[in-house]
Structure 1
């Protein structure tokens, strides 16, 4: 069992990541730094997620890392296309229409930094969507917040309840933080 002996900083404004760390009974603080989330075009989806998580961790390197810094980045990949956070309602509708009745992959890259150590990993989950009607997509966009979520959806939201037929892999990975792998990684520290 992981016994927390070091302070933990979550470098993420994601309420879902904060919920997941709280559910793991971890004591943590949230600290944010602005980071350019661009990446080299030739990277594969898993590498993109890890690359951005490591960029976020590097922003804290100059602070001495007297705590374990947890950074993460989640991306949705559909037919070799990266679906980031939608810019507006039209963009969200386009993304959800693409995902409707198909399957896609969710990758989350995670980095743990402490002192001069950096440990990074990723997780991948295959998500299968039922067919969504235009009315269901419009309802979701109007009543929920798809704009802060890769792929324009949250699996824990209403749309996850009606759209997700099945997943292969970690549910918490789709939420933005693969807690199963994170727990094992924290145990190494």
Structure 2
């Protein structure tokens, strides 16, 4: 009987910690939406705090292998998505507009589809007229290499890489067009 009170107290303390984390709270809700929406938080990393360039290699749906080793000198935007994700659908037109706006300045965009087969991914890209390629990351290789910045179930997440291939900014959740534009501008200005 004496062990029950400490166990209950520990459970209350632990549940209080988990309830304060919005991603953990969504996971615990069990509402079957099959993704954990980010909170829209934006993180910018100062140049001195960025660490090493990211190391990514994966296959695009077209079959071509792409490596982040090819990206130095260019600002790169990575958007983690999948077709059934409602916030991914909502932000798609803004990502297309930003791609079109920044392409003349050498900014490259890549989608990272974490779930869909080729047919579903291509249908999404046709529907939203996505002009940039996407990694077929159904095996999780790109996501795994980015887990320091992209929580595995927080989709969408958008990453901006600086000209050295380091993470300069992250948007966890739906990417606001104006915010992402400002983050890309900042990376270009460096």
Q: TM-score with structure 2 length normalisation?
A: 0.22
- Higher CA-based Rg: 2
